């Protein structure tokens, strides 16, 4: 990794470790994406509004024209389970990947031995997410934390989505199509956390 990328990853890793006590508070209402109030002039999606993906024709260029920006983000592994999703109102706009979390679960047998509450996994990511009322467009890259983020392979993908309680029901439309999947999420202010599976969570922050 070049010197600039190394400094960015190291700085972000340090801030994540300092925040681990608050993050491992886990399932309380305090575990929300770090955020500020949404801009007043940005329209928000009504979380109670749904749609039938089959009734919408996706634009053919959804996987084109995205630019990867923001810093490379190290993945932080936390002891315990992922926090409960909060749902919320998703603010349309352009987001950057801000945090990556992996959850290791509780220690086997309820051991009282002291174990680290968090650690850097050695993996890292960088990503941009563009959200409209019905579309989410991702440009993602993953690699080793100590490597040059510019060399990481990129993947563009897009989904049509709707909100169902605390879940995003998303239907992939490019580069391939797929049946709808349901992913828990938390949206608070300008933060959007997506639970990509039971042990991994990605947090995005809306650009000003």
Note whether residue 87 is domain-resident.
Answer: yes
What's the CATH code of the domain at 149? 2.40.128.50
| pLDDT at 72 > cutoff 90 | yes
Note whether residue 164 is domain-resident.
Answer: yes
Note whether residue 143 is domain-resident.
Answer: yes
Note whether residue 55 is domain-resident.
Answer: yes
Number of separate domains in the chain = 1
Domain limits for position 82: 3-28+41-108+115-206
Cis peptide before 151 (omega within 30 of 0): no
Name the percent of the chain lying above pLDDT 70: 69
Span 133-155, pLDDT tens digits: 999 999 999 999 999 999 999 99
DSSP conformation letters of 79-111: SBPPPPP-EEPPPPEEEEEEEEEEE-BSPGGG-
Note whether residue 79 is domain-resident.
Answer: yes
**DSSP 8-state assignment for residue 10:** H
Note whether residue 184 is domain-resident.
Answer: yes
76: nearest Cα among 15, 32, 151: 15
Number of Cβ atoms within 10 Å of the Cβ of 77: 19
Note whether residue 34 is domain-resident.
Answer: no
Span 48-66, pLDDT tens digits: 345 666 667 778 899 999 9
Could you tell me the pTM of the whole model?
A: 0.74
Tell me the mean pLDDT in the region 126-137: 96
Tell me the mean pLDDT in the region 158-182: 95
The pLDDT, as a whole number, for residue 57 is 76
Note whether residue 36 is domain-resident.
Answer: no
Q: Could you give the CA distance from residue 98 to residue 184 in angstroms, rounded to a whole number?
A: 18
Q: Give the pLDDT band (50/70/90) at residue 14.
A: very low
For CA atoms 59, 60, 63, 69, the dihedral sign is negative
The pLDDT, as a whole number, for residue 203 is 98
């Amino acid at each position: 990794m070049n010197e600039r990328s190394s400094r960015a990853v190291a700085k972000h890793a340090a801030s994540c470790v300092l925040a681990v006590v608050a993050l491992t508070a886990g399932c309380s209402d305090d575990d929300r994406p770090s955020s500020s109030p949404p801009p007043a002039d940005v329209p928000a999606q009504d979380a109670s509004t749904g749609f039938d993906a089959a009734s919408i024709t996706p634009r053919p260029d959804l996987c084109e024209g995205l630019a990867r920006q923001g810093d490379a983000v190290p993945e932080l592994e936390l002891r315990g389970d992922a926090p409960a999703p909060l749902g919320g109102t998703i603010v349309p706009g352009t987001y950057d990947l801000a945090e990556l979390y992996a959850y290791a679960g509780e220690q086997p047998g309820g051991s009282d031995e002291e174990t680290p509450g968090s650690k850097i996994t050695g993996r890292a990511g960088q990503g941009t997410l563009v959200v409209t009322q019905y579309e989410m467009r991702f440009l993602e890259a993953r690699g080793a934390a100590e490597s040059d983020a510019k060399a990481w392979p990129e993947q563009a993908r897009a989904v049509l989505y709707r909100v169902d309680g605390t879940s995003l029901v998303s239907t992939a439309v490019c580069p391939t199509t797929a049946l709808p999947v349901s992913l828990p999420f938390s949206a608070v202010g300008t933060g959007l956390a997506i639970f990509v599976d039971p042990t991994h969570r990605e947090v995005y922050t809306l650009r000003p």
